[in-house]
Structure 1
Amino acid sequence: MARIRTIKPEFCTSEQVAECSPNARLLFVCMWCFCDDSGIHPDSAKRLKMEVFPADDFTAADVAAMVDELIAAGLLERYEVGGSSFLRVTGWRKHQKIDQPNYRHPLPGGEVPAAPSRRSGGSSPNAQKDDDERSPSVRRTGDDASANAHRTLDERSPPEGNGKERSREEKDSPPPTPPPTTGRASPGAVAVVDAFVAAKDARWPEHAERIAPRMTLEALAQQHLDAGGTVELLTEVIQRAVRDWKNPTPPTSLSALKNSLADRVAQHRRALDGGGGRSASGSAGDPLDVDPHDQSRQRLRHWLRTGWWEPRWGEIPGHRSCLIPDRVILEVIPDFTPGWRPPAAAGSAGGAA
């Protein structure tokens, strides 16, 4: 039987949720009502289609693709028990507080949790007697509560759950993720997002609609720009990351590339802080005037001359995680191809290997 569930405001601003397409997000929220009180649902695309999208033209295959999208984002996990497959909402216990849960499906370990004993008077003669002998004031309190319940339903009600449950949720849950900054995005953030969308759509034109909200993308791009990145630098990282993306579903947000972007920005800042970045006449308050790839060129020339690549410089050129743009590598080594090694590396051991 379907149940009423709680949804928190931070759901709308979660980067993890924003990784998924709008249809997958709708499936994720609606399937909560059909999960048992452990957040478990049978792994059946046809059943989910009938429960969540009864009036839509989605096929079971479409729903199965949405489920795979949610699994890839870490919002669901799939497991098998006794030959049957199940889906479990990974953050269920953190966000759903249920006083008297009812469990129907096995956990990943195979056990079905025992339902807690319900606090009821039962049907024994003594219990009936206790009910009959309640004082008028007790019975009146129950009647008043019933009347209040009916009145509450007629008025605009607060979010799902009673005051005690909400208090416990507020105590257990971290502060909600602040929403993306409002207002007009900077031209740099717009350019970075345009580069991401263009690279993604060029590789996966059939998934052009799978994209996070534009405001979210621009806010994430602005964070990397504020951290010291440049439009050119971020664009190069995005294009390489999209080109080398290995997951079956495409990235839908810059948050999927945040580690690559943050590492490259940090490397850029270290290069600027390494000295020689300011003009001789520039004051301490003048903006930095330096090519962000000068240090990379120096390292490439060192590698070409000695055959040695220092591990602290990151992955060696040709590796898919190398942070040096291809165009910079080709400036120094015009005949470079993946797998190429400098002649000096033949007699060198260590970093060039």
Structure 2
Amino acid sequence: MRHERLFRLTWLALLALPLLAWAGPVLEPSFSSSDNYGETYSFTVDLEDGTFLSAQFSVTNVGPGSRHGICRATVVRPGRKTWAPSTRVGGGDWGYDKATNTLKVGACTLHTGNGTHVTLPLDGGLIRIVFEEPLTPKTPPNAEVELGNTRYIHQVLVPFSAVKVTLQLPGATAPLMLTGGGYSDHSHSTVVPAKLARSWVRFRSLRGPENLLLLGREGHDGEYGPVYLWSVGGEPRNLESFELRRLDDGKTKAAQWEAEVSGEGGPWMLRSTSLLLRSAPVQDLGVLGSLVKSVVGSPVTYVMRAVLERPGHPAVEGLMEVTLDEG
């Protein structure tokens, strides 16, 4: 039980980093001795059957000890219970192999070359994601945030890619073979997690007739950045700001959200249509959570189906993600 609590404390701090320049290969972590160091490779997949899948490879000093490696995934299938396996390892059980361009965290592996291959054998199940596209890092506008002598930076590794997924849930007699669209990014931070942002909003349309990304961060000082839109085949375009609003009474976990974004031709409206997942790691810790709020805050993330409406453009469906402090 003690080890499980230590793992949850470490991971909730990384969740508060929704996501320094890198001098080496993209999959080689740029380790920092800062107590607040956290570096994450994230993957988001939207599958044709309606399944939502996310996976993360993380290295961090946050929490008891240092040089932790974390591999975790979340699978939300229509009409099924959420499966969220994870593992945490010490500094001797994760590393980057330059010869094969592979990052390994415990038994989980991440490799790029001819496409991108993500393999997570966790908790008696297996997730294998194959992206058609290799990792090609690109830093969007204003993606670096400096707070005093600490920094956070975000890179997009794969903005849009067709994916194939092999999913074997624990106890299943045979794997599922699924297809859809995927996205990947990489973040590096030495900022105290609770100070990084007041709120984040993300929208990813990864399958369908039009693919695009929207990301926005609101700082505790009321400033916005990064805020950008990225359409397939184009370059990320800087936007000014957004206003995030909760549409329900705030008393239920089945939240409804909308974001009004300053965009070309007038305000754009991003509205949730259904809730897939609510993650509240500090709240889930109960009394123990009160001991870490001063460092990590109380971040809550909502993942939802949503639609983006822009004047003069057809509506676009995709995944909306809202992260904010509910302490």
- TM-score above 0.5, yes or no: no
- Which has more strand, going by share of residues? 2
Whose radius of gyration is greater, 1 or 2? 1
| Greater helix share, structure number | 1
